[in-house]
Chain A
Amino acid sequence: MTKILTRAGLAILAALIGVYLILPVLIVVPMSFSDSSFLTFPPGELSLRWFRNLVEDPVWIGSALASLKVALLSAVSSVVLGVLASLALVRGRMPFRNTIIAILLAPLIVPYVIIGLASYIVFLQLGLTQTTLGFVLVHTCLAVPYVVINVVAGLVSVDRRVEMAAMSLGAGPVTTFFQVTLPLILPSVLSGGLFAFFISWDEVVTAIFLSGPELTTLPVQMWSGIRVQIDPTVAAISTIVMLVIFGSFIVLGLTRLIRQLAHRRSATNSSATNTGA
Chain B
Amino acid sequence: MTADLETPAAKTSTGAPISIGAVSKKYGDNTVLESVDLDVRAGEFLTLLGASGSGKSTLLNIVAGFTRPTSGTVQVDGRDITSLPPHKRGFGMVFQHYALFPHMSVADNVAFPLKRQKVAKPEIRRRVAEALELVELGDLGGRRPSELSGGQQQRVALARAIVFRPRVLLMDEPLGALDKLLREQLQLEIRRLHQEMGITFVFVTHDQDEALTMSDRIALLRDGRIVQLGTPEQLYAEPNCRYTAEFVGASNIFTGAVRGTSFADEVNGRSYRITGDADQSGKSLMIRPERLGIASADAPVPDTAEHVEAVVEDCIYLGSSRTVQLRTPAGQLLVARTDVPRDPDEVVPGARVKAFWDVRDACVLD
| A168 part of interface (Cβ distance < 8 Å) | yes
Supposing A266-B142, A267-B147 touch, asked if A169 and B100 sit within 8 A by C-beta, the answer is no
Pair B99/A159 contact, Cβ less than 8 Å: yes
Query: Which residues 257-277 of A sit at the B interface, judged by CB distance below 8 A?
Result: 263, 266-267, 269-271, 273-274, 277
Count chain B residues whose beta carbon lies closer than 8 angstroms to a beta carbon of A.
37
Query: Which residues 126-178 of B sit at the A interface, judged by CB distance below 8 A?
Result: 139-140, 142-144, 147, 157, 160-161, 164, 170
Supposing A164-B86, A168-B92, A168-B93 touch, asked if A184 and B103 sit within 8 A by C-beta, the answer is yes
Q: Which residues of A contact B99 (CB under 8 A)?
A: 159, 161-162, 164-165
Q: Which residues of A contact B170 (CB under 8 A)?
A: 168
Q: Which of B39-47, B73-81, B111-119, B291-299 sits within the interface? A: B111-119
Instruction: Write the nearest CB–CB distance from A103 to chain B, whole angstroms.
Output: 26
| B183 part of interface (Cβ distance < 8 Å) | no
Q: Which residues of B contact A184 (CB under 8 A)?
A: 102-103
Pair A263/B164 contact, Cβ less than 8 Å: no
Q: Which residues of A contact B247 (CB under 8 A)?
A: none
Pair A270/B147 contact, Cβ less than 8 Å: yes
Tell me which of A159, A162, A169 has the highest count of chain B C-beta atoms within 10 A of its own C-beta. A169
Pair A266/B144 contact, Cβ less than 8 Å: yes
In the complex formed, the residue of A with least CB distance to B94 is: A165
| B181 part of interface (Cβ distance < 8 Å) | no
Tell me which of B2, B87, B117, B160 has the highest count of chain A C-beta atoms within 10 A of its own C-beta. B87
Complexed CA–CA distance, A184 and B146 (Å): 14
Q: Which residues of A contact B160 (CB under 8 A)?
A: 165, 169
Q: Which residues of B contact A104 (CB under 8 A)?
A: none
| B272 part of interface (Cβ distance < 8 Å) | no
Pair B1/A172 contact, Cβ less than 8 Å: yes
Instruction: Write the nearest CB–CB distance from B63 to chain A, whole angstroms.
Output: 11
| A170 part of interface (Cβ distance < 8 Å) | yes
Interface residues on A, range: 20 to 34
In the complex formed, the residue of B with least CB distance to A176 is: B87
| A183 part of interface (Cβ distance < 8 Å) | yes
| B64 part of interface (Cβ distance < 8 Å) | yes
Q: Which residues of A contact B64 (CB under 8 A)?
A: 164, 168
Supposing A263-B144, A270-B143 touch, asked if A170 and B87 sit within 8 A by C-beta, the answer is yes
Pair B101/A162 contact, Cβ less than 8 Å: yes
Complexed CA–CA distance, A175 and B116 (Å): 9
Complexed CA–CA distance, A165 and B92 (Å): 9
Tell me what chain A mostly uses at the interface: helix, strand, loop, or mixed. helix
| A87 part of interface (Cβ distance < 8 Å) | no
Q: Per a CB cutoff under 8 Å, which of B89, B117, B142, B161 touches A269?
A: B142
Supposing A170-B113, A170-B117, A273-B139 touch, asked if A267 and B87 sit within 8 A by C-beta, the answer is no
Pair B113/A169 contact, Cβ less than 8 Å: yes
Q: Per a CB cutoff under 8 Å, which of A164, A172, A173, A176 touches B93?
A: A164
| B97 part of interface (Cβ distance < 8 Å) | yes
Q: Which residues of B contact A273 (CB under 8 A)?
A: 139, 142
| B91 part of interface (Cβ distance < 8 Å) | yes
Q: Which residues of A contact B5 (CB under 8 A)?
A: 170
Pair B139/A168 contact, Cβ less than 8 Å: no
Supposing A165-B95, A169-B160, A175-B116 touch, asked if A267 and B90 sit within 8 A by C-beta, the answer is no
Pair A172/B87 contact, Cβ less than 8 Å: yes
| A222 part of interface (Cβ distance < 8 Å) | no
| B85 part of interface (Cβ distance < 8 Å) | yes
Ranked nearest first, the 9 interchain pairs of A and B with the lowest CB-CB distance are A170-B116, A168-B93, A169-B113, A165-B99, A270-B142, A161-B99, A167-B86, A183-B103, A167-B87
Q: Measuring CB to CB, which residues of chain A are less than 8 angstroms from any residue of chain B? A: 159, 161-162, 164-173, 175-176, 179-180, 183-184, 263, 266-267, 269-271, 273-274, 277
Task: Offer 30 A-B interface pairs, CB within 8 angstroms, sorted by A.
Answer: A159-B97, A161-B95, A164-B93, A164-B95, A165-B93, A165-B100, A165-B160, A167-B66, A167-B85, A168-B89, A168-B170, A169-B92, A169-B112, A169-B164, A170-B2, A171-B116, A172-B1, A172-B87, A173-B87, A175-B87, A175-B116, A176-B87, A183-B103, A266-B144, A267-B144, A267-B147, A270-B142, A273-B139, A274-B139, A274-B140
